[in-house]
Amino acid sequence: ELKVEQNPLFLSMQEGKNYTIYCNYSTTSDRLYWYRQDPGKSLESLFVLLSNGAVKQEGRLMASLDTKARLSTLHITAAVHDLSATYFCAVAGGSGGSQGNLIFGKGTKLSVKP
Amino acid sequence: DTAVSQTPKYLVTQMGNDKSIKCEQNLGHDTMYWYKQDSKKFLKIMFSYNNKELIINETVPNRFSPKSPDKAHLNLHINSLELGDSAVYFCASSPTGLAGPHYEQYFGPGTRLTVT
């Protein structure tokens, strides 16, 4: 059974600081997703990582994937208050008809303070 | 244009009732999903469905049933609602099996179900 673990689950940061969220998964998968969720809102797709060594950046967020280590990271550079949200990683699990099912980590609640 | 829409946004009902949540996508995707987000914000896949195959997560009670009148719609029907069914339910869609160059999975706005 595919399991996805994120850490930390809670992260309180000061503006301007850097930090990294980690996502480990238990079995082979070639697709890893990062989503952002604001309180009471839906999930917003941030990154889709498809291959070993993939790195994607958008603004202050950068995601990377190491399929051999089964590890993805979401790096936050010079955090600003607007980045406060819950961040989820998810891995495409299953095969055949269930290959699109996403298995989610528990989420990292990020709070950026002045 | 809204890509994945759900109705209603909020649903409050009593235990034992039967209710449905509707989902529509205008992305031309072949596969649709239902996820449940519990009070601890944990997201779990319930169903995936395309026009050929229904995949049911084995942990989902059979009181929950997806119904798809056509490729653009996947509704969720829940019988005999229980307190533990209170959660936010998200519909999502993607190209079939996330295959090909389009790997995105798009989520609807969610339906907050409260069972009293």
Domains assigned to chain A: 4-113 (2.60.40.10)
Residue in this structure with the two tokens 């290959």, named with its chain if needed: A99
Query: Among candidates B63, B107, B76, B81, which has minimal Cα distance to B12?
Result: B81
Structural domain including B83 reads 4-115
Contacts of A103 in chain B (CB under 8 A): 45
The segment with the largest mean pLDDT, out of B5-9, B70-74, B95-99, B101-105, is B5-9
Contacts of A108 in chain B (CB under 8 A): none
Q: Taking residues A70-87, what's their average pLDDT? A: 96
Q: Taking residues B30-35, what's their average pLDDT? A: 91
CB B105 within 8 A of CB A100: yes
Instruction: Express each pLDDT in A19-45 by its tens digit.
Output: 999 999 998 877 899 999 999 999 999
How far A64 CA lies from chain B's nearest CA (Å)?
A: 17
Q: Taking residues A41-69, what's their average pLDDT? A: 93
Chain A positions touching chain B (beta carbons under 8 Å): 31, 33, 35, 37, 41-43, 45, 48, 50, 86, 88, 90, 92, 94, 96-104, 106-107, 109
Instruction: Express each pLDDT in B70-89 by its tens digit.
Output: 889 999 999 999 999 999 99
Are A97 and B97 inside 8 Å of each other by CB?
A: yes
* Close Cβ partners of A15 (under 8 Å, ≥ 6 residues apart): A78, A79, A80, A81, A112, A113, A114
Percent of chain B with pLDDT over 90: 69
A2, A5, A42, A109: best to mutate for the B interface, most B CBs within 10 A:
A42
Confidence (pLDDT) at B101: 42
Instruction: Express each pLDDT in A79-105 by its tens digit.
Output: 999 999 999 999 987 665 566 788 999
Are B41 and A92 inside 8 Å of each other by CB?
A: no
> Are β-strands B64-67 and B75-78 bridged in parallel, bridged antiparallel, or unpaired?
antiparallel
Q: How many domains does chain B have?
A: 1
Percent of chain A with pLDDT over 90: 78
Q: Taking residues A60-84, what's their average pLDDT? A: 95
What is the phi/psi pair of residue A28, to 5°?
-60, 135
Closest residue in B to A49 (Cα) is B103
Confidence (pLDDT) at B97: 52
- Residue B91: which CATH number? 2.60.40.10
